[in-house]
Amino acid sequence: MSRSLASYAKLNLFLHVTGKRPDGYHDLLSLMTKIRLADIMTFTFQGNGVNVTCDHPLVPEDETNLAHRAAVLFLSSSRQHPKKHSLQGVTIDIQKQIPVGGGLGGGSSNAATVLSTLNARCRYPFSRNQLMEMGTCLGADVPFFLYGGPALATGAGETLSRVSPELFPRHVVVCDPGIAVSTARVFQNHDFCLTFSKEYTIQTSSNILSKGQDLDIRPYVHNDLEATTFRLYPEVRVARDEIAQLLQRPVFMSGSGGSLFALFTDEKKAALGYERLLAHWAGKKKRLLRTALLTR
């Protein structure tokens, strides 16, 4: 028996690096929301053990794959749970639509989808909070994909607070410049002193945490990691500048890069911008996506 599910990408609408922790990780303040871009994951519940296949050559299919690690972690944890189940193994096939190394959280989203799907298959032995705790062991972004709705992320990204579900503009054009960016390399080379702005961070967080109000996110969109990523991967900066010139609007990077995005309030204007970029990069190794924020 097989089941196919969408595993959605995310955007960091703003991302501030607020400090470095003793464990080597960085403290963050980030507003995250899902977008409609998604991988397709097909689960087949048969046999023993965990098997993962993927149609993208840069995605491993062994135990280093986050989806594989999530399945192993769930099965190991569930064996200690008093609520017994008959699930012994699962085969997971991943059809990649989310760019690899693009700062859109594809691997973390896949891991979260595995945890929630296996939990449902086993009739919910774990609460959402328990799944989020498991997710933290896999990666800082995994809890967000289990949380539901846009969230303000702090700590290493694993501590989440709910924000207004109405973040406008709602439409986005995303560009994958075709460069797989290493998150670890970006953080290892990040110069904290050059980017952190305490006053701006406090202003942003206080506005985001206003309860029950729609929020125009545009004045707050920002990414402290852009300078480091642009220095290490200059092709990402070139793509950012080209997009901004063609669209005549600000363009930002998600996460540690290299995916770039521009926000639109009007769907028709987003479509026109998408077509303009598509014509400009015809035949080039750039991937463009026109999608929407998932705010509920």
Residues 101, 213: one domain? no
| Largest interatomic CA distance in the chain | 59
Residues 18, 63: one domain? yes
Residues 156, 178: one domain? no
Question: Tell me, what amino acid is at 2?
Answer: S
CA triple 106-12-168, angle to 5 deg: 120
Contact 21, 156 (CB under 8 A): yes
Q: Residue 41 has what pLDDT?
A: 98
Q: Residue 166 has what pLDDT?
A: 78
Active-site residue, 20 included: no
Domain count of the fold of the chain: 2
| Residue among 10, 39, 93, 286 flagged as catalytic | 10
CATH number at residue 100: 3.30.230.10
Using CA atoms, how far apart are residues 157 and 25, in angstroms rounded to an integer?
10
Residues 145, 204: one domain? no
Beta bridge partners of 80: none
| Residue among 39, 93, 141, 224 flagged as catalytic | 141
The tokens describing 266, both together, are 């009007």
Tell me which residue range forms the domain holding 171: 167-294
Residues 35, 84: one domain? yes
Residues 156, 34: one domain? yes
Q: Residue 199 has what pLDDT?
A: 59
Contact 33, 294 (CB under 8 A): yes
Residues 43, 153: one domain? yes
Q: Residue 200 has what pLDDT?
A: 59
Active-site residue, 285 included: no
CA R_g for the chain? 19
Mean pLDDT by 10 residues, the chain (296 residues): 94 89 81 95 94 96 97 93 84 96 95 97 94 94 93 88 82 93 89 60 60 75 93 95 96 95 94 94 86 84
Residues 218, 103: one domain? no
- The residues near 168 (Cβ < 8 Å, ≥ 6 apart) are 214, 215, 216, 217, 265
Residues 113, 183: one domain? no
Residues 58, 128: one domain? yes
Q: Which of 162, 189, 218 is the last residue of a domain?
A: 162
Residues 67, 178: one domain? no
